[in-house]
Structure 1
Amino acid sequence: MPACKMPRLHAHQIRHDALIVACPTVSYESAMKEEFLHYVWQHQYFDKNDLRTETGELITVLKPGHRNADAGPDFLNARLQIGEVEWNGAVEIHLRASDWLRHQHQTDKKYDQVILHVVYTADQAIQRTNGSGIPTLALAPRIALSLVNSYRNLVELPAASATLPCAALLSQVPVITRTMMVERALLERVEQKADAMTAVHAQLGDDWEATAYHALAAGFGFKKNSEPLARLAKALPLAVVRRHRHEVRPLEALVFGQAGFLAETEATATDDYIQELRREYEFLRHKYQLAATALPAHEWNFLRLRPANFPTVRLAQLAAVLHARPVLFNALLTAGSVQVLEQFFAAPVSDYWRQHYQPGRPGKVPALGRGSVHLLIANVVVPLRVAYARYVGQPELIESAVALLEQLPAEHNYLTDQYEAVGFAHRSAADSQGLLSLSRAYCQPRHCVRCAIGSRILQQNLVVR
């Protein structure tokens, strides 16, 4: 075994129970993440008996501080007594003390407020920008070995072996804890989507009708074409759409022309309707000076899509909604049920697009499916309503928005099926969205210490003196 530097230990720290007393080897440190030490410090899950700095000063933790989500030290407003002096300030956490230098904190004045450097391994003394030393606390000899091993068992599990790292340990977790964590993950997912809506709303000068238009356009992309459809909404301003939404032909000319689908091809050379749209578009693009913002056709994705999901079909469906619904935002905001929203999206496409998948290529095209409508409700309507509720300060609107998800059927895919197989409730789209968020934000990146389920499992293996 390679030699390593042992942190300074005091006689009381050398135990033969569940505390780590051996040299903190690379095998532990390489598997550990700083967020584990954040968790340990936040909850004070370490031996605090005769707690001392590396220079031997006695430490009393009066208040560990609160997590900082912005740039700067990890914990703010901590209150500590170090030696004879009581300090108020920040706590910074690293795996190794030398990470302070690697992250260039010695030149960053934001870190001058740090009163304690908490590390797993103290391998170097560190200073503030003015050269004054910062007390260091090494946690390696103070964290229960059982807690470290439990953490390693979670984060080191091969990604392909299970969607849920703690699947085999779920019996240790009460059902209420699992349920509340899924609900928390759901709200986080909705809030993230609402943040995106809020950003669009700000870019559009606080215009909620324009925000609804942009959100619907991106939503009709259904992942594969969400990005080009979002750009199409920018390339075709709502003000122009409003002037022509009462007539199908000019509206479709604008939509398909700005999307780049009206260029003459062999398939459209003898297609009378597309020829009409092209002539209409040529006139309108000059009138509104749209040519510079039009999208090229090659930016749209057709690969591995069924014809019913082709972007040309989605554009026709979007045009149908824009034509049939003169007011977007108020209708989406006030709809009291999923059934009302299903009627909102039940706008029939024009005769041409009932019979064509692409310009000049005939074929019978199904209407916008119920499943697609439900995805639009989950990914557009709900976050749009949550963003508005936060904007006007009406939290009850958030509850009514999330309640729409509870009216939608569960979404089944390989991720949700695996959670359902190990006992998670999966009754509605609210459960589906929560499970997807749990997987992507916690389980896949192995952020177990941030998860109530993982935290509960770690607590079962905790020994703190």
Structure 2
Amino acid sequence: MQEDFLHYIWQHQYFDKTDLQTEAGEIITVLRPGNRNADAGPDFLGARLQIGEVEWNGAVEIHLSASDWARHQHQIDPKYDQVVLHVVYTADHAVRRTNGTLVPTLALASRLAPELLQRYQRLLSAPPTALPCAPFLMQVPGITRAMMVERALLERVEQKAAGIEALHQQLGADWEATAYHALATAFGFQKNSESLARLAKALPLNIVRRHRHDVRQLEALVFGQAGFLGEAAETETDSYITGLRNEYMFLAHKYNLASSALPVHAWNFLRLRPANFPTVRLSQFAALLHARPTLFDALLTAADVLTLEQFFAAPLSEYWREHYRPGRTGKVPILGRSSAQLLVTNVVVPLRVAYARYVGQPELTESAVALLNQLPAERNHLTEPYEALNFSHRSAADSQGLLALGRSYCEPRHCLRCAIGSHVLRQNKVLR
């Protein structure tokens, strides 16, 4: 058993309250269990209890064993002097505050319904590869499942938006720069995200703005700062790359860029198809910067996903339509539809939510999340188990919700915080 289980039991009062007494025999009436405390100090604050003839307002501390009080050094911590009830599974020791006064203790071992405890143990003991609630899902209403997936989705979007907000603060509250850095990172599509994030820092937006009208200068800056314009045998007779190299040497000297340029080994080509090579993504990113004068306003105001897909599909320059890498030929497509849809999910939606929070317009959050309903579902090994259990999976909103449910609740076994797990546990609880 984990202590979180007792927190859950106390918060929801899922125990037998018949003839409720402290270990000293005083009658307990729970008037208000209190609120979970996420900070340092007792587990529940603002509790209201009647113990014997006295009504108490204070804190409740929870442990598996009463002796954990001393093991955690609460007897010398003034924060725990406000505790009016010590709730434990087993009461193996009397506990006292810093002034020596006794803290009333309530033991729950004999007050928990066996069915409740058995279900909890089954959830925790499920194999790592299995969804812990799978054997019980037939008992969970569809509305409970759907609401939990939606909750997980919103938590995932808010988490991504928090990352955008932090980036916005780092960049001096400049939304255009925020969009530039967020898009650069996302253009790495996981395998090269970190390197593209580094490139955005090494190539400031104010320099990009000065040269975005000239595609040759822009590509020189992008590929030069990325480390791909060094001398190499395969580009020895490539006049276009030679021209970019000369252009970059001039611009790098002008803006003092060379010291911040990335080494070519910072980029990952391993196990990537040519269409996903970092050089291809850099050419697509450079094309976007050249063709779209503003980023943030377009990402914020696009009416639908189709408009955004067209925005991201900027035409490549003539050289990069025919080269996967400097000096290596091959047909290169513009940014594909599926890649554009990933950018909507990972950049546009959280960017809009972050902006909505910044300007205090929650309705913008709803419209941002609504974009996910226009995108097709993302199917992979992480969503397959949920589809097999008949979870709805019709759009990217469902995919993102299921991914969040798995990573934030199912994998770490946070069933007690999940509405589905909570419903499972409530099925056979015995309350009096």
Instruction: Specify the TM-score bucket, using the shorter chain as the normaliser.
Output: over 0.9
Task: Compute the displacement of 1:403 (Å).
Answer: 0.7
Task: Compute the displacement of 1:130 (Å).
Answer: 5.1
Moved more, 357-366 or 208-217: 357-366
- SS of the residue 1:60 aligns to: strand
CA–CA distance in structure 2, aligned partners of residues 219 and 91 of structure 1: 46
Asked if 1:347 corresponds to 2:299, the answer is: no
Q: Match of 2:186?
A: 219
The residue type paired with residue 45 of structure 2 is: L
Q: Report matched runs for 1:66-81 at 5 Å.
A: 66-81=35-50
Contact kept, 8 Å, 2:374 with 2:395, in 1: the verdict is: yes
Deviations 1:290-314 (A, max 9, x none): 2332222222222222121111211
Asked if 1:379 corresponds to 2:353, the answer is: no
- Equivalent pairs counted in the alignment come to 432
Change beyond 3 A, Cα 1:286–1:447 = same
CA–CA distance in structure 2, aligned partners of residues 319 and 68 of structure 1: 49
Task: Compute the displacement of 1:194 (Å).
Answer: 0.6
- What's the TM-score once normalised by structure 2's chain length? 0.94
CA–CA distance in structure 2, aligned partners of residues 131 and 252 of structure 1: 73
CA–CA distance in structure 1, aligned partners of residues 233 and 189 of structure 2: 29
Q: Match of 2:32?
A: 63
Q: Match of 2:274?
A: 307
Q: Report matched runs for 1:100-179 at 5 Å.
A: 100-106=69-75, 108-129=77-98, 132-160=101-129, 162=130, 164-179=131-146
Asked if 1:33 corresponds to 2:10, the answer is: no
CA–CA distance in structure 2, aligned partners of residues 193 and 449 of structure 1: 24
Asked if 1:447 corresponds to 2:414, the answer is: yes
Q: Report matched runs for 1:36-51 at 5 Å.
A: 36-51=5-20
Asked if 1:238 corresponds to 2:205, the answer is: yes
Change beyond 3 A, Cα 1:410–1:135 = same
Change beyond 3 A, Cα 1:85–1:334 = same
Q: Match of 1:433?
A: 400
Moved more, 263-272 or 146-155: 263-272
The residue type paired with residue 231 of structure 1 is: R
- What's the TM-score once normalised by structure 1's chain length? 0.88
Task: Compute the displacement of 1:103 (Å).
Answer: 4.2
Change beyond 3 A, Cα 1:402–1:269 = same
- SS of the residue 1:414 aligns to: coil
Change beyond 3 A, Cα 1:305–1:49 = same
From 336, 342, 363, the equivalent of 1:369 is: 336
Q: Match of 1:5?
A: none
CA–CA distance in structure 1, aligned partners of residues 96 and 264 of structure 2: 57
Task: Compute the displacement of 1:168 (Å).
Answer: 2.3
CA–CA distance in structure 1, aligned partners of residues 268 and 143 of structure 2: 43
CA–CA distance in structure 2, aligned partners of residues 434 and 402 of structure 1: 11
- SS of the residue 1:267 aligns to: helix
- SS of the residue 2:89 aligns to: strand
Change beyond 3 A, Cα 1:261–1:99 = farther
CA–CA distance in structure 2, aligned partners of residues 241 and 366 of structure 1: 24
Asked if 1:94 corresponds to 2:59, the answer is: no
The residue type paired with residue 72 of structure 1 is: G
CA–CA distance in structure 2, aligned partners of residues 103 and 287 of structure 1: 61
- SS of the residue 1:92 aligns to: strand
Q: Match of 1:259?
A: 226
Task: Compute the displacement of 1:234 (Å).
Answer: 1.7
- SS of the residue 2:390 aligns to: coil
- SS of the residue 2:48 aligns to: strand
Moved more, 196-205 or 45-54: 45-54
Change beyond 3 A, Cα 1:100–1:241 = farther
CA–CA distance in structure 1, aligned partners of residues 239 and 94 of structure 2: 79
Deviations 1:305-361 (A, max 9, x none): 212111121111111111111111111001110111011101012222222222222
- SS of the residue 2:382 aligns to: helix
Q: Report matched runs for 1:177-188 at 5 Å.
A: 177-188=144-155
Change beyond 3 A, Cα 1:360–1:126 = farther
Structure 1 consecutive aligned stretches of length 4 or more whose deviation exceeds 6 Å: none
Asked if 1:54 corresponds to 2:19, the answer is: no
Superposition RMSD in Å: 1.9
Contact kept, 8 Å, 2:313 with 2:336, in 1: the verdict is: no
CA–CA distance in structure 1, aligned partners of residues 201 and 426 of structure 2: 50
Identity of aligned residues (%): 75
Moved more, 48-57 or 438-447: 48-57
- SS of the residue 1:374 aligns to: helix
CA–CA distance in structure 2, aligned partners of residues 349 and 62 of structure 1: 68
- SS of the residue 2:233 aligns to: coil
Change beyond 3 A, Cα 1:82–1:268 = farther
Task: Compute the displacement of 1:46 (Å).
Answer: 0.8
The residue type paired with residue 120 of structure 1 is: Y
Task: Compute the displacement of 1:35 (Å).
Answer: 1.9
Moved more, 378-387 or 259-268: 259-268
Task: Compute the displacement of 1:86 (Å).
Answer: 2.3
Task: Compute the displacement of 1:107 (Å).
Answer: 5.1
CA–CA distance in structure 2, aligned partners of residues 286 and 104 of structure 1: 61
Moved more, 248-257 or 182-191: 248-257
Moved more, 291-300 or 453-462: 291-300
Q: Report matched runs for 1:187-336 at 5 Å.
A: 187-336=154-303
The residue type paired with residue 288 of structure 2 is: V
Deviations 1:235-266 (A, max 9, x none): 22111111111111221122222222222223
Deviations 1:361-418 (A, max 9, x none): 2222222111111110011000100111111111111110011000111111122222
The residue type paired with residue 236 of structure 2 is: A
CA–CA distance in structure 1, aligned partners of residues 164 and 395 of structure 2: 24
Ranges in structure 1 where 5+ consecutive residues have no aligned partner: 1-31
CA–CA distance in structure 1, aligned partners of residues 121 and 11 of structure 2: 19
Change beyond 3 A, Cα 1:118–1:293 = farther
Deviations 1:257-279 (A, max 9, x none): 22222222232333222222222
Asked if 1:458 corresponds to 2:421, the answer is: no
Ranges in structure 2 where 5+ consecutive residues have no aligned partner: none
Moved more, 81-90 or 442-451: 81-90
Task: Compute the displacement of 1:102 (Å).
Answer: 4.4
